[in-house]
Chain A
Amino acid sequence: MEESFSPQDSLRLIQSMIVKTRSSISEDRFYFLLWGWVSFAAIVTQFILKAIIGYPRHYLVWLVVIPAVIVTIIHSSRRGGNRSVSTYIGSSMASLWTGIGISFFILSLIVSRLPNGWLDAWPFFILFYGLGTYISGRILQFRPLVIGGMINWALAIASIYVAYDYQLLLAAAAILTSYIIPGHLLKRAAN
């Protein structure tokens, strides 16, 4: 076997093995779509409750985050348990979004102590969506996420200049462009 193993054979072998370890970008799609649709539904419901119906405890819709966190933890621990290979892309994505998740939690604590409280929160949240989405797009080399991240930054700036109710709509647009649309495009890219 070794005798007939030419340099061309070597290169072909190296190439075929490297292709086998290329991680599928669709692995992360589940999270983008889960969090995209959960947040989008929560924001739109909050907008309807606050601006249209006038229900004072409109922010209670965000309790929906708790089951979403549980689903994420169960799904990722199952996936981690079955995984027989760990890639740099996979661990970078996990670290990035764990970091963003922790930042969201801390940001919630900070915002709750600010004089205007939640009325000033959205520009910061949209800013972090943008950061996570932009870096994800660069790591996965998936352009719709990079563009989504940039759109979020623009929306973060825009949200400074509008009233809270309209910030909700800008946040819904941010979720749509950074999680939902790229999440569905990832499916197409995977196929």
Chain B
Amino acid sequence: MFKDLDPILHSQLRLAVMSLLIGVKEAEFTFIREKTSATAGNLSVQVQKLKDAGYIDVTKQFKDNYPQTLCRITPKGVDAFEAYVKVLQEYIRK
């Protein structure tokens, strides 16, 4: 139905993740999970898909002996997000 919409972004949870990351420098996995109210398993899968598409960077590191996963949007991700919003606006104007 919405053919022109980027299928990677046109999914509720992946779009939520991208919308969170577009406004910040970087965010922890736990922050994204809290704001999207998603389960850790589902969120991991969607984050991996965004990473495979090159839309986000994921860094794993240790902080105070605890593993920490940091996500940040890439320039390619910003372009894709802007293109997606543009197409959305066209649909709504029709």
- Please report the C-alpha to C-alpha distance between residue A85 and residue B28 in the assembled complex, in whole angstroms: 6
Does A105 sit at the interface, judged by CB under 8 A? no
CB distance from B51 to the nearest CB of A (A): 18
Are A5 and B11 neighbours in the complex by a CB distance under 8 Å? yes
CB within 8 Å for A91 and B25 given contacts A1-B12, A5-B12, A11-B88: yes
B45 nearest CB across to chain A (Å)? 14
- CB pair B12 A87 closer than 8 Å: no
Report if B30 contacts A (CB, 8 A): yes
CA A122 to CA B90, docked complex, whole Å:
57
Say yes or no: A21-B23 contact (C-beta < 8 A), given A10-B88, A13-B15. yes
**A17 near B12: Cβ-Cβ < 8 Å:** no
- Report A-chain residues with C-beta under 8 Å of the C-beta of B11: 2, 5
The answer to whether A14 and B26 have CB atoms under 8 Å apart is no
With contacts defined as CB atoms under 8 Å apart, how many contacts are there between chain A and chain B in the complex?
Answer: 67
Name the interface residues of A5-28: CB closer than 8 Å to any CB of B: 5, 7-11, 13-14, 17-18, 20-22
CB atoms of A84 and B27 under 8 A apart: yes
Residue of A nearest to B17 (CB): A17
| Smallest Cβ-Cβ distance to B64: which chain A residue | A81
B61-80 toward A: CB 8 Å interface, digit per residue (1/0)?
A: 00010000000000000000
Contact yes or no, B16 A86, CB < 8 A: no
Q: A73-114: contact bitstring with B at CB < 8 Å (1 yes, 0 no)?
A: 000000001001111100100000000000000000000000
Contacts known (A14-B85, A86-B26, A91-B25); A2 close to B10, Cβ less than 8 A: yes
Q: Would you call B35 an interface residue if the criterion is a C-beta within 8 Å of the partner chain's C-beta atoms?
A: yes
Contact present for A88 and B88 (CB under 8 Å): no
B43 at interface, CB cutoff 8 A: no
Known: A7-B88, A10-B10. A18 touches B25 (CB 8 A): no
Given A2-B11, A7-B2, A21:B20 Cβ within 8 A: yes
B residues near A8, Cβ cutoff 8 Å: 92
Q: Please name the 3 residue pairs, one residue from A and one from B, whose CB atoms are nearest each other, closest first.
A: A17-B19, A84-B31, A84-B28
Extra contacts besides A17-B20, A85-B27, A88-B24 (16): CB < 8 Å: A1-B12, A5-B11, A5-B12, A10-B5, A10-B88, A11-B85, A13-B15, A14-B15, A21-B23, A21-B27, A84-B27, A84-B31, A85-B24, A85-B28, A85-B31, A91-B25
